[in-house]
Amino acid sequence: MGQEKRGNVFLITGAAGFIGYYLSKQLLEAGKTVIGIDNLNDYYEVKLKETRLTDLEKYNQFAFFKMDIADKEVMMALFEEHKPSIVINLAAQAGVRYSIENPDAYISSNITGFFNILEACRFYPVEHLIYASSSSVYGSNKKVPFEETDFVDNPVSLYAATKKSNELMAHTYSHLYNIPSTGLRFFTVYGPMGRPDMAYFGFANKFFNNEPIHIYNDRDFENDLYRDFTFVDDIVQGILKLIPEAPKKTAGQAAHRVFNIGNNQPVKLMAFITALEKALSNSLGRDIEFEKVYEPMKPGDVPATYASTDQLQHVTGFKPQTTIQDGLQKFADWYVTYYNKK
C-alpha cells in the first residue's frame, strides 16, 4: 500500500470505532485506499469493534494496524511509510462521565495522541487533517443554538477540556506549519453498531436484562434535558463533503476551521426515550415500556445541546436531516438482530 498514489490514501484513526467504521466503509465503497488504525481498547465491548473491523477487512484496499496514537514512534513510522494525503483523526477517549473516573486515559489519547498526529502531519505534510471535536466544548452555554463563534472557554468536564485543547493545538499547528485542518464538533451521534456507553444503547441493554433505566433529570419534565441527536449516516456524509473543502491560509488567518455537525433539531430526553420504546416495540412486534428510575443530573453533564449547522450548510450545501424516530428504528432493528432478541 505504500506504493499507492498519495491522493488516494486516507488514514483513519479509530477505524474500528463507531464513526470510524462507517466513514472507512464509505471511502472503501468509493474505491479509496484506507489505512485504519485503532488500539482496540476495552472501554466498551471489544467484540463490537472486531465485528466492524471484520467487515472492513473484506475490502482489498483496506489495511489495518493495531496501534495507539499515543505512541509517537510508531505513528511517525506509519506516516513515513504510507504518506497519507488525508488524515481523519477519530481516535479519542470518549465519554463525559468516564473522564471523572479515569482522567489519565483522556490525557494519553486526546492530548498526547492528538499532539502526535499533528507532529506527523508537520513532518509528512497532508492535504487535509480533519479531527473530532465535540459539542461538549460549549459547556453550560445558555444561548441556543450553539454557534461556532460562541465563547467556549468554560468546559465542565475534562473530556470537554481535551476537545477544546485539540482545537487550540490544531489552530497553532496550522498557523505555524500551514497544516490545513478542520475540527468537527459532533452532537450526540447514534445509530446501529454504535457505542454501548451511549444512553440509547444502555437503555436497550437494561430493558433486555430486565433492569430499570436511570434517567438523570430528577423528574424535572418542565426543564428536561435535551440533546441534538445526530444519526451516524449524517455525520459521515458531512465529513465526506468536507474532505475536499480544506481551508486555505489567508492574511492573518490560519488554515483552520471548526464546524458543528448536529441535527439542528434537539429532542427532549423523555421524548427520546418514548421514541426508543416505540422503535423497539416495532422491532419486537409487541408493545414495550421501560421501567424508569429518576436521579439528579450527573456532574459534567450539560442541560442542552443544540447545533447551528448554518456554516456546514454554507460550505457544503449539506444539512443533517434523519429524524430521531427513523434513526432509532434503524438502531432497534440492528440491535434486535445482532443480539438475537427476537
Q: Which residues are catalytic?
A: 159
DSSP 51: H
**Pairing state between β 226-227 and 267-268:** antiparallel
Kindly provide the b/e burial profile for residues 206-242, where b requires at least 16 CB atoms within 10 angstroms of the residue's own CB: bbeeeeebebebeeeeeebbbbbbbbbbbbbbbbeeb
Give how far Cα 232 sits from Cα of 8, 22, 261, 263, 287, Å: 24, 8, 10, 10, 26
Grid coordinates representing 76 are 511517525
Kindly provide the b/e burial profile for residues 178-196, where b requires at least 16 CB atoms within 10 angstroms of the residue's own CB: ebbbbbbbbbbbbbbbbbe
Q: Are 37 and 1 in contact (CB under 8 A)?
A: no
- d(Cα 5, Cα 1) in Å, to the nearest integer? 9
Strands (E), 54-152: 62-66, 86-89, 128-134
Q: Are 152 and 134 in contact (CB under 8 A)?
A: no
Q: Are 106 and 158 in contact (CB under 8 A)?
A: yes
The total number of residues written for the chain in this structure: 342
Strands (E), the chain: 9-13, 33-38, 62-66, 86-89, 128-134, 181-186, 189-190, 213-215, 226-227, 230-231, 256-261, 267-268, 292-294
Kindly provide the b/e burial profile for residues 102-141, where b requires at least 16 CB atoms within 10 angstroms of the residue's own CB: ebebbbbbbbebbbbbbbbbeebebebbbbbbbbbbbbeb
- d(Cα 282, Cα 288) in Å, to the nearest integer? 9
